[in-house]
Structure 1
């Protein structure tokens, strides 16, 4: 890894995750949870019942409050910005609705060249200034306690929603669009990539200490398709921002491309629970930090059994550079004390010397 820690991280009291991503020794494994700012926390649910989803996302004070909740309540080693990956299609000119308990809806999806032409690479401060305002407020409120993770969706995952128009288990329409219209698909992916790079640079300038790129639907593609429709755009994003902040790539289910992703210049790679730690390490190599990978459903185990599962996972990490996390986002029905037990088990685990 060649990424150096941001100079701004010097004021951060708990910089474990930044040291891990820089390949430096850590006295214990850092820990945070994907989707930690949200739906399992009663404090979040109270805000959800009062404000619509995009009110929460687009009001910096609310986004900051939600971002800080897991730091205050669960004690994680990093905050992650409360936002959504679909703010990019929205900023590019698409209508995006988030329906509680149903999911995303894009009522006018991409079908033809004219639909791509109407998309704009946005002026970030004009269209997404509420995000950078939230980041500045979060950094002020964190006061150096832990790093702040900024994020965006991977171009392939955003294409899935922009073409399909809604959530899907297969995103068959999105895949068909790529297979039947490869030039148009590449044009759309490039436009998303250009927008995402500007967006992430703005997040870093506002104070984000590291970045995670979520390719939630990367695992729907076979190896060659992933390395056609996803990897080149992940490489572009990483190359554009890796000198400014560490980058974690999380392509859920795309384990077959870990060797290729390890060559992008990213500081870390996320993995899910469907691959063993040793296999992931063999594929990714020793020179990159890995992150993961507890099955989120295991947080429903009795706490004593949960602690044993977490300890077994940590033992499987050995003495390599790892960040403890879930293999995907925390589920809405997880008891808060179980989430806290996961974090505390990691934080009290004695690393293998």
Structure 2
């Protein structure tokens, strides 16, 4: 680890004083980068993660090209499921697709348990390599049980999650068993990443915003409480992300997690109204990355002004970078946020 280690991101996560607002972007490694597109011509998405040196290069690219304050491991939330023998493919333009969706407890009763050191050594080798190469913190990650369950039950992405909710309501005991199974897998996977050198871990509960606050309390909160309570015993910073989940922030604030994500549908005023006490990250609409540069900076400035002197703020997008974004736009935005927040 470099002696010039930049820990501004970690300090913000812990709500400590920082010299400027740290920046990182979800999906900051991806198809908008020419170097990544060249790598994808030689390797499939999943193949990249099986080659630690290449995966580390892809993970480092945004740090080297954009000057962001954290790297996030290049992988997919389906990676640990594939390692357990579950047949899933990433279909370009669609997302994860599973050939045998869950319809009863019998469909997952015989899954083998995940042993990260045995089943995913290439992921842990990548983390160890990055721990030596990076001068910023590395964020490891995993999918949350609900979001993983939604893919497992729907068979792929969904607009309404009807099958998932129907299974949750109609098969409560089997749903609990599935949540427990996925929680154990998630914990084993994240703890292994932390032991390998990840200083922070983010749990992607991307689609849990489809649930009501009441359903979250009953069907999801106990699982997330277990996960974050166990992760609290490590020294890693923890982050929780979902899209369109502003109505769940008050529930999230009860969890022993360090950082909560909020998207453009939730304002800074909402954070104050809900008395959110955690560090937060967000919430620029990714669509603004296609706006004229002066408009983008005006919106970023307004967000920074609005967040004011709130301790524990990380500048990020409300969701991920998409392929049409220009690298120079992200570089200019990063420089603007760093420079303007230093002045303030």
Please, what TM-score do these two structures have when normalized by structure 2? Answer: 0.96
Deviation at 1:162, TM superposition (A): 0.8
Unaligned runs of 5+ in 2: none
1:55 counterpart = 2:47: yes
Please give the alpha-carbon distance, in whole angstroms, between the structure 2 residues aligned to 1:292 and 1:311: 13
Q: Which residue of 2 aligns with 1:210?
A: 200
Asked if 2 retains the 8 angstrom alpha-carbon contact of 1:318 and 1:352, the reply is no
1:166 counterpart = 2:156: yes
Which secondary structure state, in structure 2, belongs to the residue aligned with residue 150 of structure 1? strand
Query: Which ranges of 4 or more aligned residues in structure 1 deviate by more than 4 Å?
Result: none
Q: How does 1:1-353 map to 2 (within 5 A)?
A: 11=3, 13-142=5-134, 145-244=135-234, 245-286=236-277, 288-320=278-310, 321-350=312-341
Asked if 2 retains the 8 angstrom alpha-carbon contact of 1:12 and 1:147, the reply is no
Asked if 1 retains the 8 angstrom alpha-carbon contact of 2:304 and 2:341, the reply is no
- State the aligned residue count: 342
Unaligned runs of 5+ in 1: 1-7
Please give the alpha-carbon distance, in whole angstroms, between the structure 1 residues aligned to 2:174 and 2:223: 15
- Deviations 1:259-318, CA, capped at 9 Å, x for gaps: 2211211111001110101212332433x1011000000010111111111111111111
Deviation at 1:91, TM superposition (A): 2.4
Which secondary structure state, in structure 1, belongs to the residue aligned with residue 341 of structure 2? coil
Which secondary structure state, in structure 2, belongs to the residue aligned with residue 28 of structure 1? coil
Please give the alpha-carbon distance, in whole angstroms, between the structure 1 residues aligned to 2:104 and 2:301: 50
Please give the alpha-carbon distance, in whole angstroms, between the structure 2 residues aligned to 1:232 and 1:47: 41
Deviation at 1:101, TM superposition (A): 2.1
- Deviations 1:296-349, CA, capped at 9 Å, x for gaps: 000101111111111111111111120000000111110111111221111111
Deviation at 1:69, TM superposition (A): 0.5
Which secondary structure state, in structure 2, belongs to the residue aligned with residue 241 of structure 1? helix
Which secondary structure state, in structure 1, belongs to the residue aligned with residue 316 of structure 2? strand
- Deviations 1:226-271, CA, capped at 9 Å, x for gaps: 2223222221111111231110111222222212211211111001
Q: What is the Cα-based RMSD across aligned positions, in Å?
A: 1.6
Deviation at 1:151, TM superposition (A): 0.6
